[in-house]
A and B are shown apart, each in its own frame.
Chain A
Amino acid sequence: MTPLHLARHTVVTCVGDGLAPLRAALRTGTGGLTPCRFDGVALDTWIGEVAGLDGTALPAALADYDCRNNRLARRGLESDGFDATVRAAIARHGVRRVGVILGTSTSGILATETAYRQRDPLSGALPASFIYRGTHNTYSLAAFVRDWFGLEGPAGVVSTACSSSAKVHAAAARMIHAGLIDAAIVGGVDSLCLTTLHGFASLELTSPEPCRPYDAARKGISIGEAAAFALLERPPASLDADAVLLLGCGESSDAYHMSSPHPEGRGARQAMEAALADAGLTADDIDYINLHGTATPNNDAAEGCAVAALFGTRVPGSSTKGITGHTLGAAGALEASVCALALAEGFLPGSVNTRTLDPGIPIDYLLSTREAPLRHAMSNSFGFGGSNCSLVFGRAG
């Protein structure tokens, strides 16, 4: 593909609002997971909860979108000057020429879960205050962001579980290359809710301790929530050396099982190979892989198998979910930001909470953060339904 400029990016995670606290956590190897106290949920697990969302309101004109997911989105839009950068891009390109392509798996389902606890005892009706379209519906995230900026161009939500906000990069790049838009707001927002907490617990995939990606004794995921946004544009004539470009996207399907990965990571490998081909690179060109690394026994084994087959032990990699938890539909965009930080600043993020490497996974897994110049980074995101996406990013110089 023709490279696209990651003109601005930002995140909100359990370690704080903006890139600064994420950078500090990556540099110092500290995580933000805490024991689950969310909404009275009595599960023995740890979560990555964003502080203060109950106190984050939406502007009156956008009140119909009010739910935890869109409050988290607002926090993201207001971090790292993202709002101003997008408004400047809209001034350059026009309200019809900036697309909104975002990923979510949860959307605002928490609003519906809450409404079901407030049904009319006689009629069973949901409370009148419940607004399905602005909260629960999967499109509500992109509708909120489109209205936040007063945009009138193409928009949509990609909802493919944990690959959602990786795949938005591919969809937005296609739209830009097809000439439909000049720039796109991409990203993902996923928020804590009962469906994912109890759902992953029902599959026995939630860890009773902070998740330990690729550890020999890993016990499952820590569910997190996050907002992550980026502005994708065609590159300007000249770029600073530390500018970051999206170079390639690869997508595939496992065709295997709804909630288990193919044991040898067949679809994962196909996505990584497709991303390399799209970027015009080979495995040896990659300097760092941000692994999907959910910390479930099966996921890390399957991904590790595919990474070992493709990269051997030549390319260092890590999962950063020990810091943020697995932010599901936001993970792809969040970890794209991790790659962008690593590329721009020249460091390899170590894995938080991982103590003893799994001897059954022969890859170069990073236990601690170290300085290193890097040119190209890959980010992996694999979701339920066998939906896989790998992205390749690179420095401009």
Chain B
Amino acid sequence: MSAPHSLSAWIEGVGLIAPGMPDWAAGAAVLTGRAPFQNAPSVLPAPLLLPPAERRRASRVVRVALASGLAALEHAGIEATTVPAIFSASTADGHNCHALCETLASDDHRVSPTRFHNSLHNTPAGYWSIATGAMCASQSLCAYDGSFSAGLLEALVQAITSQTPTLLVAYDAEYPEPLFAVRPIPDAAGIGLVLSPVQTPRSLARIAIALTDTPPDPLAEPTLDTLRTAIPALRGLPLLGLLAAGGPGCVALEYLAPLSLSVSLDPC
């Protein structure tokens, strides 16, 4: 076997939407212990870039994905049209899936065309390109509870191989019952990260990633760690905690057992 291989880039922008953490500024305060964590439902902004009809119909996964991605790009000061976007989630739209399965289990199997195209795993990526006009490559990944790390790995690899900034949007949202009982994700959440292959004046930190056997690190605050393990996209919170703390450091993120993702940050 080869020696552990490290890949690196620079973090240019962050977006966060999570229960009790409506944006990155609030999340950074909570993750560093400067503000107490107060659990509250995630606030999902309406996707203003979409045409009015699509905006009204936009589901919770589309809202959380678009908002966390756009927040990261705004933080980085980069236009969406030039940036390959990597979407990663453990599920598609759970409410839409439930409605489709109910219809298909009924005597009348006729489904609505909108329900059908909204059932796709890449629906948020499709709406992203329609909303932003971005015609560059986008990706839609799934790796169950390892989806954050799978997306981070792909975003970093794309940044390095294409030598352009890339956007990671890791997001998830809940299923209603009865699927909630077998996949109990409590709320929607999303993390957006802009990665650049070169350091820029806006770079926040250098990020280096390697595959490791080290088990995933929990968050020190138990209520926050509960959130990390409850919503797959928030498996990335330890990385955000490190970034918010501002010093150099290393954490292991959950990926695909027995592999974890070792993430080292060096602030700029």
Contact = CB atoms under 8 A, between A and B. Distances in A.
Q: Do A and B bind each other?
A: yes
Interface of A: 41, 94, 96-97, 105, 112-113, 116-117, 119, 124-126, 130-133, 137-140, 142-143, 146, 152-161, 167, 170-171, 174-175, 177-180, 182, 194-195, 198-200, 202-203, 251-259, 266-267, 270, 274, 383-387
Contact of B110 (A116, A152, A198): A198
Contacts of A125: 178, 181
B182 to A, nearest CB: 4
A139 B142 contact: yes
A195 B135 contact: no
Given A156-B154, A198-B109, A387-B126, A167 B120 contact: no
Contacts of A251: 137-139
B123 to A, nearest CB: 6
A154 B129 contact: no
B178 A252 contact: no
Contact of A139 (B100, B138, B143, B179): B143
B150 A253 contact: no
B111 interface: yes
A258 B7 contact: no
A200 B130 contact: no
Interface string B33-77: 000000000000000000000000000000000000000000000
B120 A159 contact: yes
Given A138-B142, A160-B140, A385-B123, A126 B179 contact: yes
A154 B211 contact: yes
Given A132-B183, A202-B112, A137 B133 contact: no
B122 A198 contact: no
The bracket for how many chain B residues form the interface is 35 or more
B196 interface: no
Nearest to A389: B137
26 contacts: A41-B109, A112-B97, A125-B181, A126-B181, A130-B182, A132-B182, A133-B144, A139-B147, A143-B144, A146-B256, A154-B211, A157-B141, A159-B140, A159-B141, A177-B161, A199-B115, A202-B111, A251-B138, A253-B126, A254-B135, A255-B130, A258-B118, A267-B135, A384-B120, A385-B117, A387-B122
B158 interface: yes
B182 A160 contact: no
Interface of B: 1-2, 5, 7, 90-92, 97, 100-102, 104-105, 109-113, 115-123, 125-127, 129-130, 132-144, 146-147, 150, 153-154, 157-158, 160-161, 177-179, 181-183, 211, 255-256, 258-259
Contacts of A119: 105, 178
Contacts of A41: 109
Given A132-B182, A171-B139, 9 more contacts: A105-B121, A137-B90, A155-B256, A179-B7, A199-B113, A203-B116, A267-B135, A385-B126, A387-B122
A174 B161 contact: yes
Contacts of A140: 144
Contacts of A160: 121-122, 125, 138-140
Given A94-B1, A386-B126, A154 B132 contact: no
Given A97-B2, A199-B111, A252-B136, A154 B123 contact: no
Contact of A385 (B125, B133, B177, B178): B125
Contacts of B133: 255
Given A94-B1, A96-B1, A156 B117 contact: no
Given A152-B258, A253-B137, A199 B123 contact: no
Top 9 closest pairs, chain A to chain B, by CB: A385-B126, A199-B116, A159-B121, A251-B137, A253-B129, A138-B142, A116-B105, A255-B129, A132-B182
Contacts of B115: 199
Contacts of A182: 2
A119 to B, nearest CB: 6
A386 B88 CA distance: 17
B144 A137 contact: yes
B117 A387 contact: no
* Among A94, A131, A258, A274: residue with most chain B CB under 10 A: A258
Contacts of B141: 156-159
A273 B15 CA distance: 33
A274 B136 CA distance: 10
B130 A138 contact: no
A158 B139 contact: yes
B117 A126 contact: no
A179 B137 CA distance: 22
Given A139-B144, A156-B143, A116 B1 contact: no
